[in-house]
Structure 1
Amino acid sequence: MAKPFMIAGIAAPLPVNNLDTDQIMPKQFLLGIDKSGLARGLLHDLRLDANGHVREQFVLNRLEYQGAKILIGGANFGCGSSREHAVWGLQQGGFEAVIAPSYGEIFYFNSTNNRLLLVTLQPEEVEALVAELESGSDKHVSIDVENEVVLTPSGQRYRFSLPARQKQMLVEGLDMIGLTLRQEEAIDTFETRHWAAQPWSRIDLPAQQNHN
């Protein structure tokens, strides 16, 4: 790896299995034409009751978890609809990583494309991590992306693995377009060879005429 990459901060335990994208980002917050303003919709129906009152015992409303950067989820986190807003909302809410036993497939790839780190641990490891956070006063967790290790407040280390492409995107600050452009020279070479070998398949659009 070119340089170390760490995500460290308060970790909030939300070990709810099958927490879907409709709960992460309810439909009433999907009305905008851009990505902005989604933090207020994050887990809205869990944070607030039907009358709009704050649920004081909900983890993200508790004082000790304010400013959390890491969310500890349950199995099949992010299942349900394909809305990418769930990922954007988590990021706008301050989260840089999620740790869970498993993820919804589309949510997983949406997260990868947007550089939201998803760490997969064994169910028993997630349970132990949640128990440690809930029972102890120190809520800080560190994720060493380069060495693929989660470090808990007590010093427990949990190993995980990341696909090489995902790790590169995280460490080098690339999205999918940026990663593709790293191959620009190879793309240009392929394109040149392709058109040279099959010139009949190329359609050149006429240049725009200036009618002013």
Structure 2
Amino acid sequence: MLGANDGIVSTASLALGVAAAGAEHRTILLSCASGLIAGAMSMAAGEFVSVHSQQDTENADLARERAELKNDPGGEQRELAGLYVARGLAPALADQVAAQLMAHDALAAHARDELGLDAAARARPTQAALASAASFTVGAALPMAVAAAAAPAQLIFWVALTSLAFLAALGTLSAWAGGARVWGGIARVTFWGAAAMAVTAGVGACLGVVA
């Protein structure tokens, strides 16, 4: 959702800014295409670096835990049992659970219950980068398609109107998926989207007058 929102807002703002400056239709579309490519690559690179840093931290934690298990397995079992006692298990049962889990997969047990690392939620930099780039591209393609279809004289109106509609739809979907208030989500995303487009269009108009 976040990547798609970014794609809509940034591309629509770019189209409105260039259009307000008096650029030709072809130049507007070229600017949108350039913004789409640059934004998608930026999102992918940023997400890859961020998630890769998270992955490095996770790997360092696992390496440290692996060494501790090798050097002091008894102490690690007591540590794991202590975690279960803190969660409400009786000491005898906690010792039994810790022993059985460590016999099955000691590192996985400590990663999950001590470090909070779930195998299904481990950091995946490449997957995160591709997902961010794809979501941004889908979002950016929407106002770009409207800009391509709209008549030059009406481009600003239609790009602004449809982009706010797209943002409202995404705000609705995001709020519904998260169980939040729908109108609150719509209001936030449309307000800031409208603000970004208005500021960019204003700057473009000023630069166009100066030119």
TM tier, smaller:
under 0.3
Higher RCO (CA-CA < 8 Å; seq separation 6+):
2
TM-score of the two chains, using structure 1 as the length reference: 0.22
Larger Rg: 2
Greater fraction of residues in helix: 2
